[in-house]
Amino acid sequence: MIRGARRALLVGSAAGLVLVVVLVVAVLVDSDSNEIAAGQIYSTDAGDPIDVFYGPDESGMECMTFSGFLYGGNVIFGYGGNVSCFDPKELDEGGTYKLVLPASAEMPALVIGVMPAGATGATVGGIGRKTARAETRGRWFLASLEPVAPSPWDLADIRVEFDP
């Protein structure tokens, strides 16, 4: 009797586990892969050059908040704090990005953003700068542009091209 009850319990547990797995897979397949989760996207603690947080503000706009430090030798260079907000309705079609300038010309400028729906990668370039392939995380991308002497012409024409 006890042996039969154990067997029934094991079979019931296995069936319950299979049901949970099926439900999780159904939710993952059904979810929108173009959705962007709020929270911390990049972190200096994880080896990224900057901290980036993403979430909505009170007005319904989506906002990226930047801060962090890049360590070079014994010197700490700051990227400072910055917030960039955008209309979520325009995001799917054209994406969005922000040029983040360092505190020193010896540090790289960073281009951080969200790719449009369906994009698989990004390449960033500009006048006087080598083209850089962006690191992607889901729809997020981060490109580090090699350091150059600051010039208004270098910063005026940052180009981002998205891969289909």
Predicted pLDDT at 116: 94
Q: What is the DSSP string of 34-65?
A: T----EEEE-GGGT-SSEEEEEE-TTS-EEEE
Note whether 46 and 119 are same-domain residues.
yes
Q: 67 with 51: CB under 8 angstroms?
A: yes
Q: Are residues 26 and 44 in the same domain?
A: no
Q: How far does CA 112 lie from the centroid of its chain?
A: 8
Judgement on whether residues 44 and 114 belong to the same structural domain of the protein: yes
Residues 18 and 56 in one domain: no
Query: Residues 16, 73: one domain?
Result: no
- Same domain for 25 and 54, yes or no, is no
Considering the domain architecture, whether residues 87 and 11 belong to the same structural domain is answered as no
- Kindly report, residue by residue over 74-125, the tens digit of the pLDDT: 444 566 677 889 888 888 889 999 888 777 777 788 899 999 999 999 999 8
Torsions phi, psi for 20 (to 5 deg): -65, -45
- In this structure, are strands 75-78 and 158-163 parallel, antiparallel, or unpaired? unpaired
**Mean pLDDT, range 135-163, rounded to an integer:** 80
Q: Is the pLDDT of residue 147 over 80?
A: no
- Same domain? 81 vs 115: yes
The residue range of the domain holding 24 is 1-31
Q: Which two tokens stand for residue 70?
A: 């890049």
Q: pLDDT (tens digit, 9 = 90+) per residue, 3-49?
A: 554 444 444 443 333 333 322 332 333 334 567 888 999 998 898 98
